[in-house]
Chains A and B, each alone.
Chain A
Amino acid sequence: MVVPVVPDSIAREIVIDAPPERVWAIVTEAQHLAAWFSDDAEVDLRPGGAMLLTWHGHGTYRARVETVEAPHTFAFRWLRRQDAEGSTLVVMTLTPEGASTRLRVVESGFADLEWPEDERARHADENRVGWGVELDELRAYAER
């Protein structure tokens, strides 16, 4: 199969003007996760450790920490639905580039997933926050 019928994974990356140690703290610490990912977060930062991700109005989702290799690799398996089996694996990789950090995220396992109905709604909610300018900036990064 040259081009998959439907992709089973997505990959995204961005270059951040901060050292890997700082980016690592932001992607792994509960207080920061609650700023960029969910509304509330709990993390037991060790392989096999539990993560609880809460979105107000949507409930709490469970995840399991898979890989903790500071400050390079953080991976977790995310149960994307409260009432069904099926998870996706998120792998975040931090690579130093001079004084900056390239942060790459790969999420895989979509073909094994049952999809939440509110996916679209939540996406719309997040879009309302409005990252228009930054998204353009991100595209510029992605296209370099």
Chain B
Amino acid sequence: MTQEDADRLWAALGDPMRLRLLDLLLEHGETTASALATALPITRQGVAKHLAVLRRAELVVARRAGREVRFAVREERLDQARRQIAQVAARWDERLVAIKRIAEGG
């Protein structure tokens, strides 16, 4: 992942409303912007803006189905973000073990 790509991913995730949107999409599967708007305290236009950010970050894909556009989460992209967090956790495991070694080393 390039710097620019990682920045886009985390900027997209750094908004509570977008996280709720992703949550809804994960729960309901592929759905329309209108359906999402009924479940959130923002307008359809607001939903569309957030979906655009999520699409640019490749967290969401859009698919035309007849007259509708349906949105879905790209799970593999979410997994990338989760893996970065897991790396941070793994690094703390290493550090804690290093602290333990020093402390118990006398």
Contact = CB atoms under 8 A, between A and B. Distances in A.
Interface residues of B, number: 38
Contacts of A58: none
B103 A16 contact: yes
B102 A137 contact: no
B100 A1 contact: no
Given A5-B22, A114-B7, A135-B94, A26 B99 contact: yes
A131 B97 contact: yes
A6 B96 contact: no
Interface residues of A, number: 43
B69 interface: no
Contacts, number: 116
A129 B94 CA distance: 10
A10 B89 contact: yes
Given A5-B19, A5-B23, A117 B102 contact: no
A126 B2 CA distance: 21
Nearest to B9: A115
B15 to A, nearest CB: 8
B98 A36 contact: yes
B40 interface: no
A36 B22 contact: no
Nearest to A106: B92
A12 B93 CA distance: 7
26 contacts: A5-B26, A6-B13, A6-B78, A6-B82, A6-B85, A12-B89, A14-B97, A16-B99, A16-B100, A16-B103, A17-B100, A26-B99, A32-B102, A101-B103, A105-B95, A105-B96, A110-B10, A111-B13, A114-B10, A115-B10, A115-B84, A117-B3, A123-B90, A127-B94, A131-B94, A134-B97
Given A36-B95, A117-B3, 11 more contacts: A5-B26, A12-B93, A36-B98, A110-B85, A111-B13, A114-B7, A115-B9, A115-B10, A119-B84, A134-B101, A135-B97
Interface of A: 1, 4-7, 10, 12-14, 16-18, 22-23, 26-27, 32, 35-37, 101, 103, 105, 107, 110-117, 119-120, 123, 126-127, 129, 131, 134-135, 137-138
Interface of B: 1-3, 6-7, 9-11, 13-14, 19-20, 22-23, 26, 78, 81-82, 84-85, 87-104
Top-4 shortest CB links A-B: A36-B98, A18-B103, A117-B3, A14-B96
